[in-house]
A and B are shown apart, each in its own frame.
Chain A
Amino acid sequence: MLEKRDMLEQQIPLKQQKLIVSHAPFFHSGRSITERSYHAMLAALPALLMGLYHYGMPAVGVVCLSVSTAIIWELVINLVTKRTITIGDGNAAWLGLLFAMLVPATMPWWAVATGTFIVIVIGKQIFGGIGSNAFHPVALALAMMMLSWGSLFDFDAALLNYDLEFATIYPLAATKYFGAVSADSFSLTDLLMGRQLGGTGATFGLGLLIGGIYLMLRGFIRWEISLTFLAGVYLTASVFNLFNPAQFAPPAFHLLTGYTLIGAFFLATEDSSSPVNFVPMLIYGAAGGIMTVLIRNIGAWVDGVILAILVINLISPLLDKIRPQALGKVE
Chain B
Amino acid sequence: MVRSSPVAALRTDGRWLPLAEQVLAHAAKEGATEAEVLVVAEDSALTRFANSEIHQNVAETNVSVNLRFVAGRRIGVASSGRIDDEGLRRLASNAGAIARNVAELEDWGGLPEPTGIRDVPAAFSEATAGATPEFRAAAARAVIGAADDAGVVAYGSFATGTESITVANSKGVRATQERTTSQLITVHMASDGGSGYAEQAAVDATTIEAQALGREAAAKARATSGAVSVDPGDYPVVLEEYAVVDLLDMLGYLGFSALAVQEGRSFVEIGKKVGSELVSIHDDGADPAGLPMAFDYEGVAKQRVELIDGGICRGVVYDAQTAAREDRKSTGHGLPAPNTYGPFPINMLMAAGDTSRDDLVAGLDRGLLVTRFHYTNPVHPKLAIVTGMTRDGTFLVEGGKIVGPVRNLRFTQSYLQALAGVVAVGRERKTLRGFLGGSVVPALRIEAFTFTGATEH
Q: Do A and B come from one complex?
A: no
Residues of chain A whose beta carbon lies under 8 Å from any beta carbon of chain B: none
